[in-house]
Amino acid sequence: MDGIVVEGLRKRYGAVQALDGVGFRVHAGELFGLLGPNGAGKSTTVKVLATLTTPDAGRAEVAGHDVVAEANAVRRAIGYVPQSSGVDRDATGRENLMLQGRIQDVGGRALEARVGELLDLLGLTDAAERVVRGYSGGMKRRLDVALGLVHRPQVLFLDEPTTGLDPEARASMWEELERLAEGEALTILLTTHYMEEADQLADRLAIVSLGRVVVEGTPEELKRSLRGEAVEVELSDGRAADAEGVVAALEDVLEASSEGRKLRSRVASGARAIPSILSALEARGIGVEAVTSHRPSLDDVYLHYTGREFAAEDEAGAREDDSAAER
C-alpha cells in the first residue's frame, strides 16, 4: 500500500508558481526524502499534504484519504512538524503535548502514558515541566517532533527538521529520526535542503526543483545512475567557458559544465582523465588552481538532472524567500 500518493500538484501564490506538477509516491513504512533548494516547492507540497492549503490542480492521497475531500480523515492520520516551530513557548513541554493529544482525541490515562513515553523517547523527561521558552534549539525541535507523534499517526511530515540547528544537535536529531523510522510503524516524509541528510536518512528520495520532481529513487540508485567519477577543476582565471569546450571534447570525459571559475566534469576514470584534462588546459594556456575528484554525490546528481549547482540555487532561492517574506 502507498502511504502518500501525489499526482500533478500545482499551486500558485501571486506571481510565483510554487508547485508546477509535483508528483511522487511514498510506500507505507518508508522514510522518503524531498530534497531541493530553498524555494523549490518542498514546504508548499507538505502544506498541501497536511491539508493547510488546497492545490490549484492535481490530487494527493495520504494514508488512503484524499487531502481535499477527506481533509479531516487526513488530519487524524498525520503528524505535522512545520518548518518553523509551532510550540506554545509560554507553556511547558508536557502541557504542549497534552493539549495536542486532546485535540487529536486521545485522552485520560492513555494520553498521559503516551506523553510520558514520548518525553522519554526524545530525551525531554527532565525538561517536561519547564516552560518551552527556556529550551535550546535542539530541545524545541525534538518537542516539535513529539507533538507530531502524540496520537500515533500513520504518516509523519517533517518539514526541514534540522534547519537552524548546530551540527551537534543535528547529529542527535538524525539519531532520533533513525530510531523513529525503525521503531514505530510510520511513513515519514522529510524535506531537507541538506544533501547529507537525505543521503543518510532517506530510504528513497525525490529531487525537487522549480515546483517539479526531477528524479526519484534510492540515494544509491541516483548516485549509481551517474557512471564514473566527478572531477572538479578550479581555474586561476575566468576562462571557464573556453575550458569547458576544451574538456568536453576530450575522449575520457563524459560531460562537462562550468560555473564561475569552477569546471565540473564527469569521467569514466579519474586516474586516466585527470592527466589529459590538465595537459589539454595547459596546452591552451588556461591556468589551474586545484583539482579534486570524488565518487558521485547527491550534489552531482542534482547538477546532472537540473543543470544547476545546488548551493548556488539554494542561495538564490533563499533570497527569493526573504523578499517574499518582506512582501
Partner 1 sequence: MTIAVRHTWFMVGRQLRNLMREPIWIALLLVQPMVWLLLYGQLFKRVTNLPGGGFGTSSYITFLAPAIVIMNSFFGATWSGMAMISDLDRDVLPRFLATPVSRISLVVSQIVRSALIAVVQGVIILVVSLALGVRVHTGLFGWVVILAAAALMNSAFAGLSQGIALLVRKEATMIAIANFIGLPLFFLSSTLISIRQVPHWMQIAAKFNPVNWGVIAARQVVLRGTEWGSVGLHLALLFGLSVATAAFATWTFRAYQRTI
CB of 146 to partner 1, least distance (A): 12
The reply to whether 192 sits near partner 1 by the rule CB under 8 A is no
CB of 88 to partner 1, least distance (A): 6
CB of 143 to partner 1, least distance (A): 11
The DSSP string of 46-88 is HHHHTTSS--SEEEEEETTEETTTTHHHHHHHEEEE-SS----
- Side chain identity at 226, as an amino acid letter? L
Residue 150 carries which DSSP code? T
CA 285, CA 302: separation in Å to the nearest integer? Answer: 31
Which residues lie below 8 Å from residue 245, measured CB to CB, with a gap of 6+? none
The reply to whether 100 sits near partner 1 by the rule CB under 8 A is yes
The DSSP string of 211-277 is TEEEEEE-HHHHHHTS-SEEEEEEESSS-HHHHHHHHHTSTTEEEEEEETTEEEEEES-HHHHHHHH
**Cβ-based nearer residue to partner 1, 71 or 214:** 71
CB of 287 to partner 1, least distance (A): 50
CA 112, CA 123: separation in Å to the nearest integer? Answer: 16
Place of cell 516524509: 189
Judged by CB under 8 A, the chain residues 126 through 155 that form the site for partner 1 are 131, 147
CB of 163 to partner 1, least distance (A): 14
The reply to whether 105 sits near partner 1 by the rule CB under 8 A is yes
- Pick the binder of partner 1 from 40, 78, 118, 128 (CB under 8 A): 78
Contact 76, 248 (CB under 8 A): no
Interacting span for partner 1 (CB under 8 A) from 1-9, 30-38, 95-103, 166-174: 95-103
Q: Is residue 324 classed as helix, strand or coil in its secondary structure?
A: helix
The reply to whether 103 sits near partner 1 by the rule CB under 8 A is yes
CA 210, CA 143: separation in Å to the nearest integer? Answer: 31
CB of 91 to partner 1, least distance (A): 6
The DSSP string of 99-113 is HHHHHTT--HHHHHH
CB of 118 to partner 1, least distance (A): 16
Count residues binding partner 1 (CB under 8 A). Answer: 28
Judged by CB under 8 A, the chain residues 12 through 71 that form the site for partner 1 are 47, 50-53
Contact 10, 53 (CB under 8 A): no
Place of cell 572538479: 232
- Pick the binder of partner 1 from 33, 37, 39, 82 (CB under 8 A): 82
**Cβ-based nearer residue to partner 1, 10 or 262:** 10
**Cβ-based nearer residue to partner 1, 22 or 78:** 78
CB of 175 to partner 1, least distance (A): 24
Residues that bind partner 1 (CB under 8 A): 47, 50-53, 72, 75-76, 78, 80, 82, 84-91, 95, 99-100, 102-105, 131, 147
